[in-house]
Amino acid sequence: MSVKPTVVVTRKLPQVVEDAIAQRYDAKFNRMDVALTAEQMTDVLKHTDIVLCTVTDALRANVFTGTMHTKLLANFGAGVNHIDRVAARAAGLKISNTPDVLTDDTADIALALILMTMRRLGEGERHLRSGAWSGWRPTHMMGHSPRGKTLGVIGYGRIGRALARQAASALGMHILYYAPRDVRISDPATAGPGSAERVATVEQLLERADVVSLHCPSTPDTHHLINAERLAMMGPNAFLINTARGDIVDEYALTAALRDRTIAGAGLDVFEWEPTVVAELRELENAVLLPHMGSGTIETRTAMGLRALANMDAFAAGQRPPDLVEF
């Protein structure tokens, strides 16, 4: 590497983060703030020491062609399913991410989606804005109270546990959770509520939960984890929440389940083919749809950028990045 390593930042970041990067590196920023094409990304990888990438960068095997000059992909975000890690490793690249700092804000969005779906808040706002509201009446637009209901959390990492704590304390919900491996908790403050109950299978959780919230990573094993068969297990009064990754849910199967009232409703912050969303799904009143806002606060997006920068700094100094992703 040169004395001042070259860096490409693929999307616009909070100004304080861009300023810090510009001070320390020979940096180029994507001022258009549009995702790079595969050809553009390949060119970047051939001429840049470090690439600060995001979930919108489809770093599939085809971009790692020829000799790669890049040695670190500093990902802005916790999830790295948009990166072909096998191809990246074969090309000699390391990957870092930004875990932990987005936990609370993402859990907040999941909690908001629970309330929005169960209480029909999105539908109510659209009803008012359209001019259709004729005034209060006792049976108008009644929803469901979350209090005393069961929340099933699939994936019990930091975000899943944070949601469990919030739902139990603020909404009085009973917590079930499914985790394929024992949960590793380094800090007791990040544990779930003591009353949370672990179940052995996804199916047991789906059959018992009034609300199912997804917090597992996107992997080959979780692709379409929620499909038509499993949606049918939830029942007509159940709600699905997804703030994890879009491809965990079969979006066409979910659309059919919502249309046919196989389940009561869904709240989604992520989608299978982002930014494209199934057209029929966009029209359904029992679906609350957000544009991937989970970590979208000034505080958290800044913290994510500074954490990515810390990984870059360590790597440039010849040290192990603190958030190195193990393959």
Stretch 190-196: mean pLDDT: 95
245 is catalytic: yes
For 4-50, what is each residue's pLDDT tens digit? 999 999 999 999 999 999 999 999 999 999 999 999 999 999 999 99
Position of tokens 């080959």?
Answer: 220
CA 64 to chain centre: 25
Is the pLDDT reported for residue 266 higher than 80? yes
Task: Note if 125 is an active site residue.
Answer: no
Of 149, 95, 78, nearest to 294 (Cα)? 78
Name the residue with tokens 């706002």. Answer: 125
**CA dist., res. 301 & res. 35, Å (int):** 18
pLDDT of residue 185: 87
CA quadruple 209, 211, 213, 219: dihedral positive or negative?
A: positive
146 Cα distance to chain centroid = 23
Q: How confident is the model at residue 3 (pLDDT cuts 50, 70, 90)?
A: confident
- pLDDT band for 164, please (50, 70, 90 cuts): very high
DSSP for 22-55? HHHSEEEE-TT--PPPHHHHHHHHHH-SEEEEET
Please indicate, yes or no, whether the overall pTM of this predicted structure exceeds 0.85: yes
The active-site residue out of 161, 245, 301, 307 is 245
**Structure token digits, residue 66:** 């020829």
274 labelled catalytic: yes
What would the pLDDT profile of 276-286 be if each residue is shown by its tens digit? Answer: 999 999 999 99
For 155, other C-beta atoms within 10 Å of its C-beta total 21
Q: Give the model confidence (pLDDT) of 222-239 as tens digits.
A: 999 999 999 999 999 999
Q: Could you give the CA distance from residue 54 to residue 76 in angstroms, rounded to a whole number?
A: 5
Question: Distance between alpha carbon 288 and the CA centroid of its chain, in Å?
Answer: 16
Q: Which amino acid type is present at position 318?
A: G
CA terminus-to-terminus distance, the chain = 24
Residue reference for tokens 């929440």:
241
Domains, the chain, with CATH or none: 6-101+298-316 (3.40.50.720), 103-289 (3.40.50.720)
Q: Measure the CA–CA gap between 6 and 1, rounded to whole angstroms.
A: 8
Length of the chain: 327
**Which pLDDT band, with edges at 50, 70 and 90, does 1 fall under?**
very low
Do 111 and 170 form a contact (C-beta atoms < 8 A)? yes
Average pLDDT (210-216) is: 98
- Over the stretch 38-97, which tens digit does the pLDDT of each residue have? 999 999 999 999 999 999 999 999 999 999 999 999 999 999 999 999 999 999 999 999
Q: Which residue among 18, 207, 274, 280 is the active-site one?
A: 274
